[in-house]
Structure 1
Amino acid sequence: MIASPIPDEQMPTEAEILGAPDENYMDPRQLAFFRARLLHERETLLDAARETAINLQQQIDAPADPMDRATLEEDHMLELRVRDRERKHLHRINKALARIENGSYGWCEETDEPIGVRRLIVRPTATLTLEAQERRELRRRFDS
């Protein structure tokens, strides 16, 4: 686990991050805030994955009734699809943590402009400004 350089009691709040002046963009306090948020999100996903594994192991005995068995299998498939989506999100979280470490977190990978604190609070794994993301989605629609 990546240790935060700021003690928990001194960790800035979301309101402090939002109210910070532009010249504080991605300073050590903001980076510590986003690192803590990403680590918490990663731990939540890993806990859910462990819980899924335990649930699937506990339900090895299939019910005798075909309808009950079908319902159980459908529930398992749904849970596995959710976990697969979460696995992909976990990969994005790890990449965001790596960007914090290498100093590129918070900067658009296409334009090198600040992504913006508001956008990062909503989506801490964002790699593009809102405008760059919209352009990318528009290109995808036209390319399809």
Structure 2
Amino acid sequence: MKQSDIQYFRNVLEKMLEEIQEKGQSTIDDMSGSAQVYADPADRASQESDQFFTLRLRDRDRKLISKVNAALERIEDGTYGVCEECGEEISIPRLKARPVTTLCIHCKSQQEEDERLGQK
């Protein structure tokens, strides 16, 4: 992979981290200021459902942070863009679609097929 590609993906991953952290802070700010009293139980239930959904999204983001950090570590150690399964280079379009990926499209497809068949 060219150095310009590596720098591109480093920037993409760092931007992903920034956006996740901004969303997390926004969620904290929103929830700390949302101690409202609702006369209608349906309104309260709706608000709690929205908060639960938002917290689930933030939990997914939390898991994504570790994947982004791992991808940045792979950039540092020179293994970014190399499939962990077969050792082949992961295509640029695949990395653009999923910058934190560790598998080439062939190995990922095989993994999904194995999971579908219950083999792994």
With the length of structure 2 as denominator, give the TM-score of the two structures: 0.94
Q: Which runs of 4+ in 1 moved over 4 A?
A: none
Per the TM alignment, residue 65 of structure 1 is displaced from its structure 2 partner at its CA by: 2.2
Q: SS in structure 1 opposite 2:80? A: coil
- What is the alpha-carbon distance in structure 2 between the residues aligned to residue 62 and residue 93 of structure 1? 39
Which runs of structure 2 are paired with 1:30-41 in the superposition (5 Å)?
A: 30-41=5-16
What corresponds to 1:102 in structure 2?
Answer: 77
What corresponds to 1:120 in structure 2?
Answer: 95
Higher relative contact order, chain-length normalized (CA < 8 Å, sep 6+)? 2
Please tell me the residue identity of whatever aligns with 1:50. Answer: Q
Encode CA deviations 1:32-81: one digit per residue, 9 max, x unaligned.
11000100011011100100000000002332321111111001001011
Encode CA deviations 1:95-143: one digit per residue, 9 max, x unaligned.
1001101111000000110011111111111110000000001111111
Please tell me the residue identity of whatever aligns with 1:31. Answer: I
Match for 1:77 among 52, 66, 74? 52
- What is the alpha-carbon distance in structure 1 between the residues aligned to residue 111 and residue 69 of structure 2? 22
Per the TM alignment, residue 87 of structure 1 is displaced from its structure 2 partner at its CA by: 1.2
- What is the alpha-carbon distance in structure 2 between the residues aligned to residue 63 and residue 32 of structure 1? 50
Structure 1 residue runs of 5 or longer lacking an equivalent are 1-24
What corresponds to 1:28 in structure 2?
Answer: 3
What corresponds to 1:133 in structure 2?
Answer: 108
Which runs of structure 2 are paired with 1:85-100 in the superposition (5 Å)?
A: 85-100=60-75
Task: Kindly report the root-mean-square deviation, in angstroms, between the aligned alpha carbons of the 2 structures.
Answer: 1.2
Residue 40 (structure 2) pairs with residue 65 (structure 1): yes
With the length of structure 1 as denominator, give the TM-score of the two structures: 0.79
What corresponds to 1:6 in structure 2?
Answer: none
Structure 2 residue runs of 5 or longer lacking an equivalent are none
- What is the alpha-carbon distance in structure 2 between the residues aligned to residue 62 and residue 123 of structure 1? 42
